Amino acid sequence: MPKKILIIDDDIDLVEAMRITLEGAGFDVVDAQDGVSGLERAQKEQPDLILLDVMMGTQDEGFHVAYQIRQNDRLRTIPIVMLTAVGQETGFHFDKDKDEDFLPVEVFLEKPVAPDRLIEVVKAQLGM
């Protein structure tokens, strides 16, 4: 059975590009365009991994979603790969090792992510 990936991102074009990449690599993909529907979708779908944008309705919506996922008993163990252009827009960059308490995710990637890098990170997080 293919692993299921949930993409939570408001950039429809980017979601479709990631969907094509991930489905081409054999993954099932579901998506949501904001944090509220993303949390609902995560509860319903129980994905194997979540790709989460930071800036959606607000500049930090993704951070709040990540915290809510980590506080939820049914979702807390799902790996989160955070994708964002925050660094490009603000000049602020995150470091997983230094910012782990502030940013409860497994991997932080700057957009745009090359398709082969996306697959590499997803597979690594899924132990494939």
pLDDT tens column, 66-76: 999 999 999 99
Instruction: Tell me what pLDDT residue 68 has.
Output: 95
Instruction: Tell me what pLDDT residue 103 has.
Output: 62
Residues in the chain where the model's pLDDT stays below 70 = 86-103
- How many CA atoms does the CB half-sphere of 35 hold within 13 Å? 18
Instruction: Tell me what pLDDT residue 101 has.
Output: 52
- Decide: 38 and 69 in contact? Cβ < 8 Å: no
Entry pTM: 0.88
What phi and psi, each to the nearest 5 degrees, are found at residue 105?
A: -130, 160
CATH ID of 4-125, from 3.90.550.10, 3.40.1400.10, 3.40.50.300, 3.40.50.2300: 3.40.50.2300
| Sequence ranges of the domains in the chain | 4-125
What phi and psi, each to the nearest 5 degrees, are found at residue 109?
A: -120, 135
Instruction: Tell me what pLDDT residue 99 has.
Output: 46
How far is residue 67's CA from residue 2's CA, in Å, rounded to a whole number? 27
